[in-house]
């Protein structure tokens, strides 16, 4: 069977913020650049980012990149690489100003500068007092950013392949990446993109959890493809959770609800936060609230048929206050929980929000993996940026507004590195003879299998297992049994069956292909989380509690290291954290407290 | 509506930028779409091509749908 081959200098998989930013670098350098996307670019999940983008412009008050660096290292619970973090915060101003020049409609001060607003964790003078560092475009920062960058790409002649799904990375016998296979959804045709540079900007994989704020599109396609090509995944145990998502839907309920007097209750209507945080109660920090909610559910005091959520009660508040101070919250309850929150409490659970780990990269955007004794050997021809990549700047937990900064800085950096490597003048390497074999075999197996597993049921089993065994607060025994369960579910995920056999617009097939990516991420997460026996950042274990010897349960002597999950044999190895910044002194280890 | 047209529409409803729309539009496809006339279905196709934030503001009632062509279907989705 002959498969069409399209030749490009570079292909970028994903048209969210990171993909569009890197495409600008390549196209403006005159390179023939293709961007593949499952959806129209301005419908990527970057659109959902509201908070803003961090940059120490100092427009509202004095600020410095070194302070931003300190906040990021501290936020990461010292797991972030300090060279990559210094690189990112020092590039922030340039990237934000560039974006402004692309036409991004930032909010402005009276004198016309970019307006900056405060955000949790942004501090001046090395953690001393809050500073206004976040640049935003109303509550549509991500949306405005995508539009500005999409227009710039159109001008630069980037070629978009919209409603195409990338299937597999193509590596030759020497390990060089020479392109990807992809499927055009409209026809079902599989095509080879033969390239000199391949950039993954596929976003996160929050859909591995039952409760996730992520849109359905976040199925970890880049991580799945990297894993199938034998590339390890870094720090996959670290996921940021939000305490209150609508149970069963994941839609975020703002923390303002608790701020206005909302009370969390268990199945016997008890205000359980009084036991966990006698002073702050329902206004305790995110970590404390999430942990308490999980404990209530795990100890059988959850609500509903499956006893798997708690209640957020605002029925005691004046309905006028609810409508005035919490606009939209009643609608969210009605639409996503079938509950009128003026009369009944809302079902809520801790909900996955952001993936800190990913495909290991250097801050130049080049993908790295252990080879011949070097833990960070470059995979030639392969780059990654944004939520799918792990540079690692977020370490064990991400500072708010650093996600949009990450995709700008590392999107640009990956693009620049690809341009630099391509200008070195190497021709296309030869395509392996079996370049499309793996993809064709996967598609054909899904199309033809009889008596296999149902996609929806398998995904649900995975999501429930991840939520119950590797959620926001983790337990040694649950992680252990979670490993067995997820390996069992993996067997089903490798035997998926679909009823629709059509070539054109077969969404059942596309969802099956996505499921094969999700399971790689779920497995990496569960096994990495089980292996890390300390608490750090967003990875909090019941059996690694806060003690004088190990504040917050963090054990630097043993665990100040990055996890590498090797998908080839499900093994785990570790590599050192880079504690050496580029020009300044190391930000020394300290207990993380706010 | 032809199968391929429906499946294309389905993809554009189940893969949005905003989770709120993924859920709302998928639910409507599964529960209310079949009851629409062919003409209404075409209006829904146009609606599904809108930008996510504008569409969500209409569907969540945060702004009133001021386009008479879309208003009935926005109301139907809100009820689904």
Do residues A170 and A117 share a domain?
yes
Q: For residue A46, what is the DSSP state?
A: G
Cα B1 to Cα B42: distance, rounded to the nearest angstrom = 9
Pair A282, A289: CB distance under 8 Å: yes
Where among A349, A364, A397 does a domain terminate? Answer: A349
Q: What is the pLDDT of residues A45-104, one digit of tens each?
A: 999 998 899 999 999 899 999 999 999 999 999 999 999 999 999 999 999 999 999 999
B61–A331 CB contact, under 8 Å: yes
Active-site residue list of A: 286
Within 8 A of A506 by CB-CB distance, chain B residues are 7
Chain B residue with minimum CA distance to A333: B60
Q: What is the largest CA-CA distance in chain B?
A: 34
Do residues A412 and A464 share a domain?
no
For the segment A250-262, the average pLDDT, to the nearest whole number, is: 89
Do residues A359 and A343 share a domain?
no
Residue A238 burial by Cβ neighbours in a 10 Å radius (0-12, 13-18, 19+): buried
Q: Which of B17, B53, B60 sits opposite A215 (nearest CB)?
A: B17
pLDDT confidence of residue A592? 86
In angstroms, what separates the C-alpha of A336 from chain B's closest C-alpha?
Answer: 8
Chain A residue with minimum CA distance to B11: A507
pTM of the model: 0.96
State yes or no: pLDDT of A212 exceeds 80.
Answer: yes
Average pLDDT, chain A: 96
Kindly report the CATH number assigned to the domain that includes residue A505: 1.20.58.100
Cα B2 to Cα A502: distance, rounded to the nearest angstrom = 13
In a domain, A226, yes or no: yes
State yes or no: pLDDT of A594 exceeds 80.
Answer: no
For the segment A166-185, the average pLDDT, to the nearest whole number, is: 98
Domain chopping of chain B, boundaries: 3-79
Q: What is the pLDDT of residues A271-329, one digit of tens each?
A: 999 999 998 899 888 888 998 999 999 999 999 999 999 999 999 999 998 888 887 88
Do residues A390 and A286 share a domain?
no
Do residues A462 and A521 share a domain?
yes
Chain A residue with minimum CA distance to B61: A331
A186–B14 CB contact, under 8 Å: no
In a domain, A461, yes or no: yes
Within 8 A of A204 by CB-CB distance, chain B residues are none
Interface TM-score (ipTM) > 0.90? yes
Do residues A338 and A415 share a domain?
no
Cα-Cα-Cα-Cα torsion A19, A24, A30, A36, nearest 10 degrees, comes to 30
Do residues A330 and A252 share a domain?
yes
SS3 A179: strand
Matching CATH number, B3-79, of 1.10.150.250, 3.30.40.10, 3.40.50.880, 2.70.160.11: 1.10.150.250
State yes or no: pLDDT of A435 exceeds 80.
Answer: yes
In a domain, A51, yes or no: yes
Kindly report the CATH number assigned to the domain that includes residue A281: 3.90.700.10
Within 8 A of B20 by CB-CB distance, chain A residues are 251, 335-336
pLDDT confidence of residue A237? 98
B17–A335 CB contact, under 8 Å: no
Do residues A31 and A165 share a domain?
yes
Substitution target from A209, A507, A508 for chain B, most B beta carbons within 10 A: A507
% of chain A with per-residue pLDDT over 90:
92
Local confidence band at A166 (pLDDT 50, 70, 90 cut-offs) = very high
Q: Provide the domain limits for residue A287.
A: 246-349
Do residues A306 and A192 share a domain?
no
Do residues A58 and A140 share a domain?
yes
pLDDT confidence of residue A1? 60
Do residues A188 and A102 share a domain?
yes
Do residues A312 and A327 share a domain?
yes
Q: What is the pLDDT of residues A500-524, one digit of tens each?
A: 999 999 999 999 999 999 999 999 9
In a domain, A577, yes or no: no
Where among A423, A448, A474 does a domain terminate? Answer: A423
Strand pairing of A239-246 and A366-371?
unpaired
Our count of domains for chain A comes to: 3
Where among A423, A446, A467 does a domain terminate? Answer: A423
């Amino acid at each position: 069977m002959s498969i069409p081959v399209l030749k490009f200098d570079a292909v970028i998989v994903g048209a969210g913020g990171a993909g569009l930013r890197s495409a600008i670098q390549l196209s403006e350098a005159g390179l023939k650049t293709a961007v593949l996307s499952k959806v129209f670019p301005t419908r990527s999940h970057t659109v959902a980012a509201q908070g803003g983008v961090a940059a120490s412009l100092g427009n509202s008050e004095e600020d410095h990149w070194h302070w931003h660096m300190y906040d990021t290292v501290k936020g990461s619970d010292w797991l972030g690489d300090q060279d990559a973090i210094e690189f990112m915060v020092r590039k922030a101003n340039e990237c934000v100003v560039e974006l402004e020049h692309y036409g991004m409609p930032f909010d402005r001060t009276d004198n016309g500068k970019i307006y900056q607003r405060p955000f949790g964790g942004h501090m001046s003078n090395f953690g001393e007092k809050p500073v206004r560092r976040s640049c935003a475009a109303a509550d549509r920062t991500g949306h405005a950013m995508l539009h500005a960058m999409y227009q710039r790409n159109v001008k630069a002649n980037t070629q978009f392949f919209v409603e195409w799904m990338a299937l597999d990375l193509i590596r030759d016998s020497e390990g060089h990446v020479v392109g990807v296979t992809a499927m055009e959804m409209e026809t079902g045709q599989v095509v080879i993109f033969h390239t000199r540079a391949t950039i993954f900007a596929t976003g996160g994989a929050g859909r591995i959890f039952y409760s996730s704020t992520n849109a359905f599109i976040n199925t970890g396609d880049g991580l799945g493809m990297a894993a199938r090509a034998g590339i390890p995944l870094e720090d996959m145990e670290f996921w940021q959770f939000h305490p209150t998502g609508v149970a069963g839907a994941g839609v975020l309920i703002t923390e303002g609800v608790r701020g206005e007097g909302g009370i969390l209750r268990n199945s016997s209507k008890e205000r359980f936060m009084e036991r966990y945080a006698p002073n702050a109660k329902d206004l305790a920090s995110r970590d404390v609230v999430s942990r308490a909610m999980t404990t209530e559910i795990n100890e059988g005091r959850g609500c509903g048929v499956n006893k798997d959520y708690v209640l957020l009660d605002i029925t005691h508040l004046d309905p006028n206050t609810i409508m005035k101070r919490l606009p939209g919250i009643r609608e969210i309850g009605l639409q996503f929980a079938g509950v009128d929150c003026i009369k009944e409490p809302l079902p809520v659970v801790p909900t996955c929000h952001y993936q800190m780990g990913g495909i290991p990269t250097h801050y130049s955007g080049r993908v790295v993996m252990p080879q011949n004794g070097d833990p960070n050997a470059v995979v030639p021809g392969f780059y990654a940026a944004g939520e799918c990549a792990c540079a690692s700047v977020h370490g064990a937990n991400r500072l708010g507004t650093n996600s949009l900064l990450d995709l700008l800085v590392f999107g640009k950096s990956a693009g620049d590195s690809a341009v630099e490597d391509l200008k070195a003048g190497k021709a296309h390497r030869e395509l392996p003879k079996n370049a499309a074999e793996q993809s064709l075999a996967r598609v054909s197996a899904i199309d033809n299998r009889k008596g296999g597993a149902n996609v929806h049921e398998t995904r649900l089993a995975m999501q429930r297992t991840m939520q119950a065994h590797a959620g926001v607060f983790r337990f040694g025994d649950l992680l252990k049994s979670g490993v067995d369960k997820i390996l069992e579910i993996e067997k089903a995920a490798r035997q998926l069956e679909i009823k629709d056999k059509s070539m054109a617009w077969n969404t059942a097939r596309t969802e099956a292909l996505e499921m094969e990516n999700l399971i790689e991420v779920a497995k990496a997460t569960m096994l990495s989380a089980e292996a890390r026996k300390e608490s750090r950042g967003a990875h909090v274990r019941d059996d690694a509690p806060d003690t004088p010897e190990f504040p917050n349960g963090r054990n630097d002597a043993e665990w100040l290291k990055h996890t590498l999950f090797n998908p080839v044999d499900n093994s785990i190895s570790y590599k050192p954290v880079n504690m050496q910044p580029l020009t300044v002194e190391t930000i020394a280890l300290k207990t993380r407290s706010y | 509506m032809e199968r391929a047209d429906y499946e294309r529409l389905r993809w554009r409803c189940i893969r949005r930028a905003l989770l709120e729309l993924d859920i709302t539009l998928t639910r409507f496809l599964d529960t209310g779409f079949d009851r629409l006339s062919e003409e209404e279905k075409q209006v829904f196709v146009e609606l599904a091509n809108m930008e996510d934030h504008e569409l969500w503001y209409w569907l969540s009632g945060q702004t009133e749908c001021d386009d008479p062509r879309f208003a009935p279907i926005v109301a139907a989705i809100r009820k689904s």
